[in-house]
Chain A
Amino acid sequence: MSTVIKVEGLSVSFATPRGELKAVRDVSIELQEGESLGVVGESGSGKTVLSRSIMGLLPSTATRTGKITFQGEVISELPKDKVRDLWGTGMAMVFQDPMTALNPVRRIGDQLTESLTVRLGMSKKDAKVRAIELLERVRIPDPKSMMRKFPYQLSGGMRQRIMIAIAVSCKPEMLFADEPTTALDVTVQAQVLELISELRKEFNMAMILVTHDLGVVAGHTDKIAVMYAGDVVEYAPTRELFSNMKMPYTEALLKSIPRLETPTGTRLPVIEGRLPDPTKNEPGCPFANRCAYVTDKCRAEKPPLTDGGNGHFYRCWFPIGGAK
């Protein structure tokens, strides 16, 4: 297996009127061919900025530092148009809101064949045949008539299937899925997640799945990075993470998920408080004010990313179950 993407010491900040906003702080991740990583965190944790910055989709107000290597080539220093050449064939993204990600005034067929003709140089006729195959592959009923439709004529689940078909149309090595099912019903969510996993295996794509729901990543990823206030606070293989959780934050996030087993009338455990202000650089662990196990040391000094063995990293002075 070869390394598809390697991110080293990636930091992203935005210039805002209130000062420099640090969205991603010194993040390092690595993905092998066909491997999938779940990036989990609350709104404002930096998970979306992380995936967009790897793809080179940041606005001009952003400053990025760190090294990104894609298929052996350092892309973090490449000019924008060279990074752009990788979109579609090298890396592709499925966005959260398929209504705004699709062009509302163009037919599905045109949007689907565009990447095939532009990126792969297919003739219009071949592209159309391939597009219909792709629609069949993502289980769209009656794909021929779908080619003539506009996005507004489709349900959210159908639009997301189209987005997925477009994203995989040029067989990218790396797929980013940013909250792909958050806007969907649970039944459709289950179908779409299943579809993404199937296609990932079929095309041997590496994938980064961004979500706020630990339930979504549990069954669909090989490893998980939990983000908090721009930091990766826990990074481990999926099974290892769930069986041997180290970070109090991850534990709190897991406990706050409503479950079918919850007896009626029970109070759900919550994480009190809020994320720290990302424009301020306060000392100590960013989670200290909300942590159930906080001590003076946590407030004074920020814990480093610690290697706990078994590929399990965490950022905590007093990990659950003790340090190694």
Chain B
Amino acid sequence: MAGTGKAHMRPDGDVILTVEDLTVEFKLGKDKIVKAVSGISFDLIRGETLAVVGESGCGKSTLGKAILQLPKPTSGSVNFLSQELTTLPKKELRDARPAMQMIFQDSISSLDPRLPVSEVIAEPLRVWNKGNQVEIDAKIDELLNAVNLDPAEVRDRRSYEFSGGQCQRISIARSLTLDPTMIICDEPVSALDVSVQAQILNLLQDMKDRYGLSLIFISHDLAVVKAVSTRVMVMYLGKVCEVAPPDELYRNTKHHYTKALVGSVPIPDPDRPIQAGLIQGEPPSPLDPPSGCRFRTRCPAATEKCAAEEPQLREVAVGHFVACHHPIA
């Protein structure tokens, strides 16, 4: 695509989130418009982990925030638990928020350095006037135990005393305080060491199973999402390229951009060097995206048709959708 389309939507499933034709644009100066997200549609089924993958600037974080109405998207609809969030009045939108939480990339700066860990986790309960002190204390201990931190040891300490991995555990505990239905994880492990990455990825899986969560997992690294996701959506410059279950996506890659992403993953094997030549340069500016398929300027298979006509998502195998005029055979 990178194009548009809704062929990959699943109206019959137990859908908790439906995003349709979502567009986010930012005004920049007088008549410049940054087209960060341009007509994206997808759905999220209960218990699923949807991975959103793409390079910096492809709009994946903006998409995550737009779902939470932070800020409200320019156009399109976001239907969460049968409520249309984009038109919801302020008061009702606030009431809908506890069910949708977010975890950020930079865990250290997303925690208030002045609050002890116990208060970081309890704050949402206080904001919502939920529970008395005994119940709140019990909840803090339960959540800290759940994320494998010793409550007695960490309760009274502050975020700056912890490592990046520990702060991410605290962030996860905090996001669980209000028993959410869905958590949007924005690059939760990309600032962490590989050894800690694996711990946090496993923890997210555990929390998902234990609390019955649905996750949207935003990442630039296909290898990271492989282990945790049930469905992967590849984005490029505000558009969707390919949607498929992870095993199918890697085994049977159809989009040239996905192929480049797969080939760029560094493999710890000296006999399998990184394939650097798959695509050159960097994505064009979202101020003035290419016509037709947005990937065509870097695509090895681009033709005139790609400039003239925007490809639509179509099903190429069961559950595997691609938006490309010339998919890989």
Point out residues on A near B: beta carbons under 8 Å: 42-43, 139, 141, 155-158, 185-191, 193-194, 212-216, 218-219, 238-239, 242, 252-254, 256-260, 262-272, 274
Contact = CB atoms under 8 A, between A and B. Distances in A.
A135 B138 CA distance: 60
Nearest to B298: A187
Given A186-B221, A212-B194, A218 B267 contact: yes
B193 A212 contact: yes
Given A158-B282, A215-B266, A264-B247, A258 B276 contact: no
B83 interface: no
Contact of A43 (B193, B261, B274): B193
B247 A263 contact: yes
Nearest to B164: A43
Q: Which of B229, B269, B270, B275 has the most CB of A within 10 A?
A: B270
Contacts of B224: 258
Given A186-B220, A187-B260, A215-B268, A262 B226 contact: yes
A264 B250 CA distance: 11
Nearest to A184: B56
Given A264-B245, A264-B246, A271 B195 contact: yes
B79 interface: no
A188 B58 CA distance: 14
Nearest to A45: B193
A188 B227 contact: no
A270 B282 contact: no
B318 to A, nearest CB: 16
A216 B266 CA distance: 6
8 contacts: A42-B194, A185-B55, A186-B220, A187-B261, A191-B276, A260-B226, A260-B262, A265-B227
Contact of B268 (A156, A188, A214, A268): A214
B270 A268 contact: no
A155 B229 CA distance: 29
Contact of A157 (B196, B264, B282): B282
A219 B282 contact: no
Q: Which of A186, A189, A213, A219 has the most CB of B within 10 A?
A: A186
Contacts of B229: 264
A250 to B, nearest CB: 10
B252 interface: no
Given A157-B282, A267-B205, A270-B195, A259 B274 contact: no
Given A185-B55, A214-B268, A264 B227 contact: yes
B268 A254 contact: yes
B197 A258 contact: yes
Given A215-B267, A268-B201, A271-B195, A193 B276 contact: yes
A265 B47 CA distance: 13
Given A187-B260, A191-B280, A193-B276, A259 B194 contact: no
A167 B130 CA distance: 57
Q: Which of A191, A242, A267 has the most CB of B within 10 A?
A: A191
A194 B269 contact: no
Interface string B250-289: 1000000000111111111110111111111110000000
Contacts of B195: 42, 252-253, 256, 270-271
Contacts of B281: 141
A249 B150 CA distance: 25
A268 B263 CA distance: 21
Nearest to B222: A260
B328 interface: no
